[in-house]
Structure 1
């Protein structure tokens, strides 16, 4: 056994280190290390198409709120003396190659009908201001889509979380219910629900929600089945945490990436279904407006007065494309397999 008596300690062999300085340096290094969500957001901000889509969505949301109050007309105000007036914007009235000069068949329709005010998107067969109806319809369509997506979120996350977490018998029963819903064509269920509940805002939301949550439930169930056997979940069980706490504190937060992406793709699906139902006459009752009802009203006069369909069609197309591109951007940013 060796002895330490003959060892001579020399202060020059050691370097005095300020402990406070080391701690501060470690904190600085840790602060520079981006976590998962920060990296994901940076990746999303670098995606030009996703950012352009986000700006487009924000613009349409703002216009849906401000557009209907930018003049004194309401979405249901009728005046047959100004029916089928073409679009006219005073600033662009002299630029005749743009469709905002109020001319039709080479004649100024406003002067012909003795109308002094201008209608930027024209008027329909009842003389209703299309500008107000289009933006009001955009607000209604977005409201239906967001409400349906939020309800789908809560139902799907709850249903899928319970099914995946408890598994075995509970999972078997809950999945059989989903299979029954999936086995019936989605469109048939929605149309039957609309017929039973009668067309209206609430009935459309209920019809979309009836089967809309199934996709979310399946995604969440798959994530829960994968995560519930992880070490940190087992540790929480060992510490005596209740099942609801384990689901809400440990499992669901680690599934948020997939949940957010699925929710983002739910919104354009709801907008499309609302427009489709309105287009086939099962949407909102007159004189209420949504993008689908405005397109449906103008479709009968498409060949003669195309502006009645063009403006709402452009808006709904841009909304669907923007939500899908933003969803793709979120998927790329939140996917851990992607190189950030």
Structure 2
């Protein structure tokens, strides 16, 4: 505990009074911490190498104080933390522990797509989200395809069965147990979503590519495929995964474009025909050119074409080169570490 900052600036005092741990702190979650009321220092101690000072309000003394808390800074983020400017951060409570989520600012250069200038990037990675595979990506230049999310499906199925067992056995304090299970599931799923988004962004960085994501409305508006499918569809955090991809990509200076998914799943990416059909579990067949491919891969390839302003009804061979303006002046972006 450090009370040396009892004489605080008025703005700091106002912010400190909002950081009060009361009987029902959940109503104040998360608590915003302005960048002028927090401080991070590197001090090599047995507990931690990094410490963050945050304001608190002492109701007994009727004034603000500061406390130093050990901070965990991932090794990959330490240089950025030293060099970058802090943005407004958050104080959040998880179960019985309090955490500060630090936000740092960094200048990045993002590509602006325009069909009349030489390209400032070399490829397009198209992202297609769904229930069977949480994310499927296709690199437009060589059509390399990657599937993500098997672990997420396994986690969700595991905890779904666990909740069913608890409900059938009528476990004492079952509601509290189910709530804890749900929290644990959410943490595991979110951790995996962070890893998936990081892998996608790293792939884009290596390829010098932009990222194209299908409009999430296309996922929500899928036809009714039964109660089990609809349950999975509407409970999956697609929006959260999209946000993870966006801010991680922006941090690296990679442009992310949202693309209208209309007709991408029923149009052949090779010849542009809509004389197509789906066969079995996700196989796409074009009756005109004979293409047989994964249906999600076909849809993602069309998303990539549309991201470049190309018509998906044109054959892939006529889509033309990747075109975009040269890198523009730096645009500011923020990311949480």
Same fold (TM over 0.5): no
Scaled by the length of structure 1, the TM-score of the pair is 0.26
Q: Which has the higher helix share?
A: 1
Scaled by the length of structure 2, the TM-score of the pair is 0.26
Q: Which has the higher strand share?
A: 2
